């Protein structure tokens, strides 16, 4: 019967594996591929908004950040929708927001925004392209 070790050199096995150079290269490759697709989706959203005559008042961009853990170890890659407007604007772009109030004169909903799901769609495209690798 085989023994399964959950630790390697005092670190959890998952942390030991994620720090391997080959694993980090693969994660970086996927992160930048996700960024590329998200950039395309962001440009398409801007172009579409301009084509229908809507004013774009957000200045968003997709960024990739590599991080390293503290005492517990660990490292990874994050693909982030950055927005200079702040105040949850990037979250509103990705997920949308509910109706904030109704206009007294027109009765129309105000402040609502449909989410673009840029990052979600980009992750799905990359996952579909690399389905066999990721299993």
DSSP string over 81-110: EEETT-TTHHHHHHHEE---EE-TTT--EE
pTM: 0.75
Q: Measure the CA–CA gap between 98 and 85, rounded to whole angstroms.
A: 19
pLDDT digits (tens, 9 = 90+) for 21-53: 888 888 899 999 999 999 999 999 888 888 888
pLDDT band (50, 70, 90) for residue 57:
low
pLDDT at 120 (0 to 100) = 94
Crossing angle, helix 21-51 and helix 118-129, to 10 degrees? Answer: 130
pLDDT digits (tens, 9 = 90+) for 71-121: 555 678 899 999 887 777 888 888 888 888 888 888 887 777 788 899 999
Q: Measure the CA–CA gap between 85 and 50, rounded to whole angstroms.
A: 19
115, 94 contact by CB (below 8 A): yes
Residue ranges of domains in the chain: 26-134
């Amino acid at each position: 019967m085989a023994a399964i070790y959950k630790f390697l050199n005092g670190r959890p096995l998952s942390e030991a594996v994620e720090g391997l150079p080959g694993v980090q290269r693969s994660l970086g490759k996927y992160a930048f591929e996700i960024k590329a697709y998200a950039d395309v989706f962001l440009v398409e959203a801007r172009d579409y908004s301009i084509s229908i005559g809507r004013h774009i008042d957000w200045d968003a961009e997709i960024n990739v950040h590599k991080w390293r853990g503290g005492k517990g170890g660990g490292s990874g890659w994050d693909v982030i929708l950055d927005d200079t407007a702040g105040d949850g604007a990037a979250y509103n772009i990705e997920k949308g927001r509910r109706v904030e109030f109704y206009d007294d004169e027109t009765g129309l909903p105000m402040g609502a925004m449909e989410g673009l799901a840029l990052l979600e769609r980009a992750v799905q495209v990359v996952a579909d392209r690399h389905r066999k690798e990721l299993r």
